[in-house]
Homo-oligomer: A and B are copies of this chain.
């Protein structure tokens, strides 16, 4: 496990040390990542994985901090997964800043950043896909055909390469989290899946790499989804249990923003993701809203 011995890391990260040196090993080779992982496991080390598409924000960092506590070897993967983008989506313009990401990972005590090339993850002639066919229907699955097939496939590949004992996901992507949980259960994968709460800006906007696309005006309008979800919670608390009635009020609220267009606003059972017509406390309210061409999602348990 020589590759993981970067000298005495805890000393280097001690705030009392005069010069704070932070560094992180970057691995791009699938083979090397597998070897490091197997060597770690052979030593009885516990591997924690945080799969990301990079352009890290406080939401990712909350996952990385939890993973740091949960594992002996902390791997953060950074891979903008082409298979989960539709042909008309923002794969090419998806924000990237690897240098900044590496510094942030180092600052949280990450052992390895796994940053494979697209052509290594999906070599020519690639032809094997993993599909969850129940929870991935509807919501973002209806709005983005093939999206979850791309997500489950890349997450399974990352699990096979990195071999984590535990992996961390954000609940901002609530449906993704439930789909991955289901895949892990169905395929008998020996990985513990942890979902952590959405991290928000001070005004309540869910952190997202895509927020970087927003102009000042769009940034203000983007809050409408969060406000609509909070309004749904208030209406249910006040006794309104009709999903249709609550949705109408949410639509009105979002409709006031000139650049906002609803992709979906739905109420679901938080475990089965089955649609709800009559709302109950604990139900999932989930929405996707376009602010001009920028698609943002958020959700709330009512």
Interface residues of A (CB under 8 A from B): 30, 34, 38, 41-42, 44, 125-135, 152, 156-157, 160-161, 163, 182-183, 186-190
Contact = CB atoms under 8 A, between A and B. Distances in A.
A128 B131 contact: yes
Contacts of A132: 127-128
The 10 closest A-B pairs by CB, nearest first: A128-B186, A127-B134, A160-B188, A127-B133, A161-B188, A128-B132, A128-B183, A130-B130, A157-B188, A160-B189
13 contacts: A34-B188, A38-B190, A41-B41, A125-B134, A127-B182, A127-B186, A128-B130, A128-B132, A128-B133, A128-B183, A131-B131, A160-B187, A160-B190
A129 B149 CA distance: 10
A47 to B, nearest CB: 13
A128 B42 CA distance: 30
Contacts of A131: 128-131
A135 B127 contact: yes
Given A30-B188, A42-B44, A129-B131, 8 more contacts: A125-B134, A127-B132, A127-B135, A128-B131, A128-B152, A130-B131, A130-B187, A157-B187
